[in-house]
């Protein structure tokens, strides 16, 4: 006589099954228990996780944590660069404004250092006589150049001003 699948499972499992409400077969095995088959064909119940499951979970956790830490480090590096760049732009703007307010100009280069930011400012009057059709009767045209450097980069700013001729 051939045995049904339910009868085979009842024989293989040491956990008893009982008929519950409505005549359905119920499994009385706790949810954390696993049925393991040994080499001799017997079944045993074990609790917890296998070593392989723990290693796979730790590997996945390690990969995820490594990705998060890499992204965080990159983000902090970018925030630092943006903060330094903004400070360099503020210094360049301030120095450009002071050059534009100057009533006279000197072609000597001036420089300074401020909290790890080195800046140079210069005024150039060369090359403006080559502009066709433009005459600067009111004064002397000049290009204003500011360069700010720091450990992480460099900002350059240029402007234009016509300095009045003193009489």
Whether 139 maps to a domain, the answer reads: yes
Residue 144 sits in a domain of what CATH number? 3.30.1300.30
Band of pLDDT at residue 167, cut at 50, 70 and 90:
low
Is 59 a member of any domain? yes
Domain count, the chain: 1
- Establish if 131 belongs to a structural domain: yes
Examine residue 87 and state whether it is found in any structural domain, yes or no: yes
Domain assignment present for residue 116? The answer is yes
Summary mean pLDDT of the chain: 78
Q: What is the mean pLDDT of residues 69-83?
A: 94
What are the Cα distances from residue 38, in Å, to 54, 74, 86, 137, 142? 21, 50, 68, 103, 91
The pLDDT of 155-161, averaged and rounded, is 88
Confidence of residue 100 (pLDDT cuts 50, 70, 90): confident
Q: Is residue 79 situated within a structural domain?
A: yes
- Kindly report the length of the chain: 167
Instruction: Provide the pLDDT for residue 69.
Output: 96
pLDDT grade, residue 75 (50/70/90)? very high
Report whether 144 contacts 121 (CB < 8 A): yes
If you write DSSP's letter for every residue of 142-163 in order, what string do you get?
Answer: EEEEEEEEETTEEEEEEEEEEE
Confidence of residue 130 (pLDDT cuts 50, 70, 90): low
Question: Which residue range is the domain that position 148 belongs to?
Answer: 54-164
Q: What is the distance between the alpha carbons of residues 19 and 9, in angstroms, rounded to a whole number?
A: 15
15 versus 162: the higher-pLDDT residue is 162
pLDDT score at 123: 86
pLDDT at 92: 92
CB 155 within 8 A of CB 92: yes
Residue 142: the pLDDT is: 82
- pLDDT over 90 for what percent of the chain? 38
- Residue 124 located in a structural domain: yes
The answer to the question of residue 156 being in a domain is yes
């Amino acid at each position: 006589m051939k045995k049904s699948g339910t009868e085979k499972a009842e024989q293989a499992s040491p956990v008893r099954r009982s008929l519950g409400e409505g005549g359905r077969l119920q499994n009385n095995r706790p949810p954390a228990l696993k049925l393991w088959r040994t080499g001799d064909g017997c079944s045993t119940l074990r609790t917890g996780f296998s070593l392989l499951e723990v290693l796979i979970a730790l590997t996945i956790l390690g990969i995820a944590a490594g990705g998060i830490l890499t992204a965080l480090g990159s983000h902090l590096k970018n925030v630092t660069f943006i903060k330094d760049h903004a400070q360099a732009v503020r210094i360049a703007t301030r120095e450009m404004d002071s050059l534009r307010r100057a009533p006279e100009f000197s072609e000597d280069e001036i420089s300074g250092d401020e909290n790890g930011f080195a800046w140079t400012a210069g005024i150039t009057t060369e090359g403006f006589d080559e502009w066709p059709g433009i005459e600067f009767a009111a004064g002397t045209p000049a290009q204003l150049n500011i360069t700010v450097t720091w450990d992480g980069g460099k900002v350059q700013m240029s402007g234009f001003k016509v300095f009045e001729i003193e009489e």
